[in-house]
Chain A
């Protein structure tokens, strides 16, 4: 049975969600504040979390950030009365998988929850990390050993591509097709940019696998 955690401080809405989701065939746990919500979420036996942002004792954003930091990848759908573009952007960038402003249609909520459940819960870190190297795709900040590294947009895109599949070897063609818009025959551009990245991050940051391509390995 699919198990849903609802973190919502408003008793009436929480009850409506519990009754409605139970009727839709889900098992539902309700947490009335951020602290309880985080504790239940970290136990990790839920398939999806419905999270309010304005919560007593611990904010929803804080719950979300802590979950991702603790490598709990349960899909999170944020429900919030704060529905401006900035609010939505922030919520998603912190690690939410979906964002639904209040008031919402219950049928839409259920459909979105089903969509999240289809995707499963693979690790989807908001901030990519391989060894001591981190990359935040939202802010485009790259850090190595805790120090900021200045990269161009293209260099960041190339590094992101490699860091999304750490330890895996990516061919030059794959990298070229995903990082450069214009697909040409010239694969040298990949070599050139790999050399730029090595200059800034150190030789060992990107390994060359002879005859195949490149990979990033955590140290």
Chain B
């Protein structure tokens, strides 16, 4: 696994981290908003008191003791020299909220200050100038707000990590459950590859992973089928090779044990026949193994010319072109013509038009139900089509595989000559193939 960290751990950390950050940002925003709204409320109280006092000053009815609205609120009326003219009962006339020097530098308005004479900690102080030139100073300690904020900060400091942790745990567990089918799939795949053979993966309940498992199973089945085809092909090939080898060996052993047994030239003709058969078989096996292994070199060719070159002395009628690899298509035509000549009574006709070659014979033909079967490797139909009638049993299989590699096909049908008609279809110029 890359970096050593499992997907589960990475996803859990990412989820928990993002949630933690979101919670912290939220908490900060919350405390800011709360403190600002509390300060705004305090300011409203302070300015209300200041207005009352300035109204009393305007009416010249300033009482010796000023009334404050809130508990803990201090209000003082200070003259231009800095002397306290009147104060709320919870403050002293000799101790102004703000020292005279500080008051002189303070413009009208509200501010949070640490140098107020009353209250511990930050104090909200509002200064206002009445028309007579005296100044109203009202103050309210912020410690209640600060306390509330501290409580909020503390609870957030505890709640946020706890929430983050809980979310991380839940994510961890849920991801573990969600990823278990993946692990099951992996274990199943490991079992299949251990036995090195066919097998199926467990299909989990989770939809996406079930689809993956089903797709993988389909792939395994296809691979298995192809491996089986391959191994039965190899077994068939070995079997086909064994027959000429057996004939060669027996002929040679008989000739050695009884040199007089064979008539003149009989033995060499027989051996040659078998060796040629072996060679044809090996050639065809190689061709079959190569089909699809290398890219085709297709070009626009004179199909009739290719067919004429491949058909030998058999007559080729018509003209046509096709976009093909000429040597490969030559092989297709040669195989079909060889096949036709093997079974024809006396006539084989090749006809060409654009993208199509037909090979007709006047032989016995092939019954419709058997026409697909003869394309299988090493299939020879019984009766007349025995092993010694020649051919490797691979000619039609090769012809079809080459045609299909070009995007075409080889099919069998009835011939007007009374025998079999093999039709090769191939891509034509301009078809984009």
Residues of A within 8 A of B (CB): 9-13, 15-17, 19-20, 22-24, 32-33, 54-57, 81-82, 102-107, 109
Contact = CB atoms under 8 A, between A and B. Distances in A.
Given A10-B387, A15-B266, A102-B242, 8 more contacts: A12-B270, A12-B274, A16-B251, A16-B254, A20-B258, A106-B253, A106-B257, A109-B250
14 contacts: A20-B257, A23-B257, A24-B258, A33-B386, A54-B387, A56-B383, A81-B243, A102-B242, A104-B249, A105-B253, A106-B249, A106-B250, A107-B253, A109-B250
Interface string B264-277: 00100011011000
Interface of B: 239, 242-243, 245-251, 253-254, 257-258, 260-262, 266, 270-271, 273-274, 382-388
Contacts of B257: 20, 23, 106-107
A48 to B, nearest CB: 17
Contacts of A105: 249, 253
A103 B261 contact: no
Contacts of A13: 243, 246-247, 250-251
Lowest 4 A-B CB distances belong to which pairs? A20-B254, A23-B258, A56-B386, A102-B246
A63 B273 CA distance: 28
B243 A20 contact: no
A103 B242 contact: yes
Contacts of A81: 239, 242-243, 246
A157 to B, nearest CB: 37
Given A10-B243, A56-B383, A81-B239, A23 B261 contact: yes
A12 B270 CA distance: 6
A57 B243 CA distance: 18
Given A82-B239, A107-B257, A20 B250 contact: yes
A23 B387 contact: no
A52 to B, nearest CB: 9
A15 B246 contact: no
A57 B387 CA distance: 12
- Classify the interface of chain B: helix, strand, loop or mixed: helix
Contacts of A32: 388
A10 B254 contact: no
A121 to B, nearest CB: 25
Given A19-B261, A81-B239, A81-B242, A104 B383 contact: no
Given A9-B388, A56-B386, A106-B253, A16 B247 contact: yes
A103 to B, nearest CB: 4
A19 B262 contact: yes
B247 A12 contact: yes
Contacts of B258: 19-20, 23-24
B387 A103 contact: no
B260 A23 contact: yes
Nearest to B266: A15
Contacts of B262: 19
A17 B250 contact: yes
Nearest to A17: B250
Nearest to A109: B250
A32 B384 CA distance: 12
A16 B253 CA distance: 9
A9 B254 CA distance: 18
A13 B387 CA distance: 12
Contacts of A22: 261
Contacts of A54: 387
Contacts of A104: 246, 249-250
A135 to B, nearest CB: 34
A24 B254 CA distance: 10
A109 B257 CA distance: 13
A9 B380 CA distance: 14
A105 B274 CA distance: 17
A8 B143 CA distance: 116
A161 B243 CA distance: 41
Contact of A106 (B243, B245, B254, B383): B254
Contacts of B273: 12
A15 B388 CA distance: 13
